[in-house]
Amino acid sequence: MRLLHTSDWHLGRSFHRESLLAAQAAFLDHLVSTVRDEAVDVVLVAGDIYDRAVPPLSAVELFDDALHRLADLGVPTVMISGNHDSARRLGVGAGLMGRAGIHLRTDPAGCAIPVVLPGAAGDTVLYGLPYLEPALVRAEFDAERADHTAVLGAAMDRVRADLATRPAGTRSVVLAHAFVTGGAPSDSERDITAGGVEAVPAEIFAGVDYVALGHLHGCQTITERVRYSGSPLAYSFSEERHRKSMWLVDLDPDGAVTAERVDCPVPRPIARIRGHLDDLLADAALERHEDAWVEATLTDALRPPEPMAALAKRFPHVLSLAFDPENSGADPAVSYAQRLRGRTDQQIAEDFVAHVRGSGPDGRERTVLREALDAVRAHHARTET
């Protein structure tokens, strides 16, 4: 049985201000081609199909087109909802879609009802565990606590109970959307700590042959049988070093797992650069980033004038600019309240200008600040009388 494991499409998401619609369409083209060229038996999508609960029409159209193309290939697809999806909206029409081989698993109550795929070596059963928000599903699973380990553990108990009723030699696959201990997060995943401790142990999935995980955006192997495919595209600069891919997994008749990565198309490389503005504009080693989406962090002691415009002349796809001045002189051990103690309003305002800009106000600016403060005091005095 050959599985193609993917997740975290986040259809409708942009990269800073750049639309990723064309890149997401290119990925779905690649997905369909891989299913056809690699003789895939079933496609697994482990949640976060959309980026938000009410996706834009363009994202829905991409999803609809992908489903039709997968159905036309005659290859079953199993999908679960993630924490970014609206489970109710995504699950509309699930019964009808199932007749076309597109199996949407969005209802926690149905987690122990598998998709059964017969084969020459026996059946393979696939259980879809949608994202389980602890506070919302605790009662459904009669879990001891409202946390991720308790509710996911109770869901897996149901899976194992159903699997125990199957013929010997039945191979088993679980799709889940969760943060599993040992996984490395990035900046683009939405926090799921609400409702208890977020991480669950990999041992919670004991007893099944393969676990297709979603939620974390980096492709990674927790154990040989428990893997994240990661997102097909980078959605934050923290994913600069990610190799975006899908898992092509072969399940042998005895349940042994063999997996290889299938790279996803890269619309544009991403890069983080750091240093003084003049150095970034002159450094020949940065030539390789001139066509990349760039996040620049400037370390100049004084904030340069119009730095974004200067950077864009060399890096036309610069998207993000941050400042981290060297030798700012601030002692991190001293609290903000301590630094303000005993200082006048005028001094505090001047310090703020220096903090934001990297240099204090000149004589004219000091006069403007003083006049503004005097006007505020006068207004306050009038309203008090």
Q: 310-336: b or e for each residue (b if 16 or more CB lie within 10 Å)?
A: bbeebbebbbbeebeeeeeeeeeeeee
Task: Judge whether residue 102 has pLDDT over 90.
Answer: yes
Q: List the domain boundaries for the chain.
A: 2-263, 269-327, 332-385
- Taking Cα atoms as reference points, which of 163, 108, 178 lies closest to residue 141? 108
Average pLDDT over residues 160-177: 96
pLDDT at position 142: 92
The one-character DSSP state at 267 is S
Question: Could you tell me the two tokens for 384?
Answer: 């008090």
pLDDT digits (tens, 9 = 90+) for 271-304: 999 999 999 999 999 999 999 999 999 999 888 9
Average pLDDT over residues 223-229: 97
pLDDT at position 330: 56
Are the beta carbons of 55 and 99 closer than 8 angstroms? no
Rounded to the nearest 5°, which phi and psi values hold at 334? Answer: -95, 125
- Strand pairing class (220-223; 210-214): unpaired
Rounded Cα–Cα distance for residues 140 and 97 (Å): 25
Q: Give the pLDDT band of residue 375 (cuts 50, 70, 90).
A: confident
Tell me the HSE value of 19 on the side-chain side, using a 13 A CA sphere. Answer: 6
Rounded Cα–Cα distance for residues 58 and 28 (Å): 14
pLDDT at position 347: 87
Q: What is the average pLDDT score of the chain?
A: 91
pLDDT at position 341: 72
pLDDT digits (tens, 9 = 90+) for 5-59: 999 999 999 999 899 999 999 999 999 999 999 999 999 999 999 999 999 999 9
What's the pTM value of the predicted model, to 2 decimals? 0.82
pLDDT digits (tens, 9 = 90+) for 243-268: 999 999 999 999 999 999 999 999 99
- Strand pairing class (210-214; 226-228): parallel
More confident residue, 376 or 123: 123
Question: Could you tell me the two tokens for 351?
Answer: 């310090």
Average pLDDT over residues 340-362: 81
Average pLDDT over residues 126-138: 95
pLDDT at position 196: 41
Domain formed by 2-263, architecture: 4-Layer Sandwich (3.60)
Q: Give the pLDDT band of residue 338 (cuts 50, 70, 90).
A: low
Average pLDDT over residues 344-356: 83
